[in-house]
Amino acid sequence: MAVKELNDSNFDSEIKKGVVMVDFWAPWCAPCRMVAPVLDELSVEYKDKLTIAKLNVDENSGAAGKYSVTSIPTLIIFKDGQLVERAVGASPKQHYMNMLNKHISA
Q: Annotated catalytic sites, by residue?
A: 29, 32
Q: Which positions ≥6 away from 78 have C-beta within 8 Å?
A: 15, 16, 19, 20, 21, 22, 84
* CA pair distance 72, 70, nearest whole angstrom: 7
